[in-house]
Amino acid sequence: MADTKDAQATVSDGGAEYLIRHTTLRQLQVLEAICRLGSFTRAAEELFLSQPTVSMQIKKLADTLGTPLFRQTGRSVEPTDAGRQVYASCREILGSLSNLDVKLSDLKQLRRGRLRLGVLTTAASVAPEILGAFCLRYPGIDVSLQVTNREHIAERLRAHDDDLYVTGQPREDDDEIETTPFAPNPLVMVARADHPLVQERDIPLARLAGENLILREPGSGIRDAVLKHFTALGVQPQVRMELGSNEAIKHAIVGGLGISALSLHSLTLESAGGQLALLDVEGFPIMRRWHLVYWRGRELSLVARTFLDFAMEYEPEVRARLAEAQAAFDRTRLKHSRPEEPA
């Protein structure tokens, strides 16, 4: 049925659909060359085709369009009015194809492109640094970075909002996502530097039951990990407040509102001494790990694949920064635990 209908269709009643089915890019290319060069022979030479092939392509195109495209004038050919119209369209189509070719080759060589990254709040301090180094190497790539909690990252992943994610521990049974283990993400218990527990070692978790605990918002991976740890050890925390940002939590600790668990990554700037200190509490640091994750059913773009490899190369630097932060906190604690030197 469809074939009969198709055979009966003409260029005037079939419109673009008819042309798409019956013309070829090769025919358009041949017509363009003949018009530009003013000769079938020269067009054949330029396209490395035989002259009969060129004539055949033009005949098929003219049949499809239902109108002659060239007329003989003496020894040369010139396009008819219809031929001129087709020529104008051909130039647009072929021009746009050659632009596409340039754009694709730019993409292949990573001269241009776009990277959409979704990261956990705990990676907010690390991701911009890696992106900065990446953009130095590939300056033509536009980057968008979304920072949000574990639950929202999972939603973004399901909705395919970004190319790649830095997330926590993926569910083991989730075979729809591809995961690459990335840097460690230790959760540490943080207090104000003058908190009485700062100088104590091996603090049992039960000792924290009487402390005001500041928790992240529901949906946060840190919150889940901390509550799970308290439950596992049978300790009931005294939750003083919930805050939706790691930065706000740091300010609340400094403000004397309580203690909280944070990723050591989010404390690198504070590690050199100052208003925050780590508590040596049973079960802390809670050792977690980030993962680079993407949806298995969707092919990773070249830019995203390149970023993934770049981030893996950068990982030792992230680890080193973490070790430095831990060492700096340890030094500060030691300094404060030594009795004052006699004058």
DSSP string, 207-253: GGGGSEEEEEPTT-HHHHHHHHHHHHTT---EEEEEES-HHHHHHHH
Using CA atoms, how far apart are residues 10 and 255, in angstroms rounded to an integer?
79
- Say which amino acid occupies 3: D
Of all residues in this chain, which one has the CB nearest to ligand PGA in the complex? 221
* Total chain residues near ligand PGA (CB under 6 A): 13
Closest to ligand PGA by CB, 69 or 262: 262
79 binds ligand PGA (CB under 6 A): no
| 243 neighbors 266 (Cβ within 8 angstroms) | no
221 binds ligand PGA (CB under 6 A): yes
22 binds ligand PGA (CB under 6 A): no
Closest to ligand PGA by CB, 26 or 288: 288
260 binds ligand PGA (CB under 6 A): no
Which of 125, 149, 260, 271 binds ligand PGA (CB under 6 A)? It is 149
Q: Which stretch binds ligand PGA (CB under 6 A): 8-16, 94-102, 133-141, 217-225?
A: 217-225
64 binds ligand PGA (CB under 6 A): no
Using CA atoms, how far apart are residues 118 and 157, in angstroms rounded to an integer?
8
Asked whether the CA dihedral 29, 35, 39, 40 is positive or negative, the reply is: positive
Count of CB atoms situated within 10 Å of the CB of 211: 19
Site for ligand PGA in 178-197 (CB under 6 A): 185
Half-sphere exposure of 79 (CA within 13 A, CB side): 19
250 binds ligand PGA (CB under 6 A): no
DSSP string, 132-176: HHHHHHSTTEEEEEEEE-HHHHHHHHHTT-SSEEEESPPPTT-TT
Closest to ligand PGA by CB, 118 or 221: 221
Any idea what the Cα angle at residue 115 is, between residues 309 and 154, rounded to 5°? Answer: 85
Q: How far is the CB of 247 from ligand PGA (least distance, A)?
A: 12
Q: Which stretch binds ligand PGA (CB under 6 A): 43-51, 174-182, 213-221, 322-330?
A: 213-221
Q: How far is the CB of 289 from ligand PGA (least distance, A)?
A: 9
For residue 161, give Cα distances in angstroms to 22, 40, 141, 144, 179: 39, 52, 18, 11, 17
Helix H or strand E segment including 204: none
Which of 64, 220, 266, 326 binds ligand PGA (CB under 6 A)? It is 220
Site for ligand PGA in 92-131 (CB under 6 A): 120-122
326 binds ligand PGA (CB under 6 A): no
222 binds ligand PGA (CB under 6 A): yes
- For binding to ligand PGA (CB under 6 A), which residues are involved? 120-122, 149-150, 168, 185, 216, 220-222, 263, 288
